[in-house]
Amino acid sequence: NSINYVVEENIAIITINRPKFLNALNTEVLKELSDAVDIIAADTAVRAVIVTGAGEKAFVAGADIAEMQNKDVLEAREFSSLGNKIFSKLENLTKPVIAAVNGFALGGGCELAMACDIRIAGNKVKFGQPEVGLGIMTGFGGSQRLARLVGAGRAKELLFTGEMINAERANEIGLVNRVVDSSEVLEEAKRMAQMIASKAPLGVSFTKKAVNEGLNLDLERALSLEVELFGALFSTKDQTVGMTAFLEKRQAVFSGE
Ligand code: HXC
């Protein structure tokens, strides 16, 4: 398998597993990733997801250049479209997704990390969008998500130069949420995932929807969306559970209902 998928307590961990090729994304990996996302979407026991890469050397060093080399226009468009569909499915999953990034996160690897909600990076990470050095451009959403995440100017610098940036710079421009020692990345991701998993799942899920969908709306509509989702949570058991526990000075245990 090119993807390992395990569930530990309420946390699903997806590992891109082609370490000999620095976890480069070929069609097979993308399809297995798609299947894993479908399984997670249907598994009510899963409350948070971690995406990582096998080995110390790379998160993902990009889309598979050997597979892309001889593609024609139509095949290239299909490959780009396949990846985009799967990354959007991951981005819109109703559960929070944390990228645990060690080593190279280049091209499609940087794009995969950006399709996750939160990025935790090791101190030796290298991010970059080297596509223009291969005579192509980003094709798994990089031109769009990078600009939204770090601003158009910084995105264009990375996209036009193809240069890699280190953990410190990635942190400085907001490409990652935090930097920890490379040996601590997965543990830190698990800690954060557990923290999120202890909160009300529908509260977290609706919040994700509000942020993601709201970013594509004007402010007035986005605020209406928040009002609607906020109201809807008052029909859930966990709203009663959470507020009652607070008033009785106990820890809330949420069921996700
Ligand atoms: C296929 C890859 C690969 C990739 C590495 N490998 N990246 N194979 N696609 N993206 C393979 C190498 O060919 C090599 O195979 C093995 O993995 C180990 O890599 P090395 O190059 O030997 O390692 P090193 O010298 O340490 O250099 C690491 C590296 C370099 C700097 C990360 O591998 C590199 O530049 N990789 C390509 C990065 C890149 O351009 N990514 C963007 C791809 S385009 P062998 O068989 O020799 O051992 C893209 C577009 C996305 O992502 C959108 C598509 C629609």
Predicted confidence (pLDDT) per residue in 136-159, tens digit: 999 999 999 999 999 999 999 999
Whose Cα sits closest to atom 16 in ligand 1? 21
How do beta strands 58-60 and 11-16 pair? Answer: unpaired
For residues 179 and 123, the answer to whether their CB atoms sit within 8 Å is yes
Q: What was the ipTM of the complex prediction?
A: 0.98
Predicted TM-score (pTM) of the model is 0.98
61 CA to centre of ligand 1 in angstroms: 5
Predicted confidence (pLDDT) per residue in 96-141, tens digit: 999 999 999 999 999 999 999 999 999 999 999 999 999 999 999 9
Q: Is the CB of 62 under 6 A from ligand 1?
A: yes
Those residues whose C-beta lies under 8 Å from the C-beta of residue 87, and which sit 6 or more positions away, are: 111, 112, 115, 140, 141
Q: For residue 12, what are the β-bridge partners?
A: 7, 49
Q: Is the CB of 25 under 6 A from ligand 1?
A: no
**Mean pLDDT for all residues in the chain:** 98
CA 53 to CA 116: how far, in whole Å?
A: 14
Those residues whose C-beta lies under 8 Å from the C-beta of residue 205, and which sit 6 or more positions away, are: 94, 95
From 56, 59, 65, mutation site for ligand 1 pocket: most ligand atoms within 8 A of C-beta:
65
From 16, 18, 22, mutation site for ligand 1 pocket: most ligand atoms within 8 A of C-beta:
22
Predicted confidence (pLDDT) per residue in 53-92, tens digit: 999 899 999 999 999 999 999 999 999 999 999 999 999 9
Q: Is the CB of 80 under 6 A from ligand 1?
A: yes
pLDDT, residue 41, reads: 97
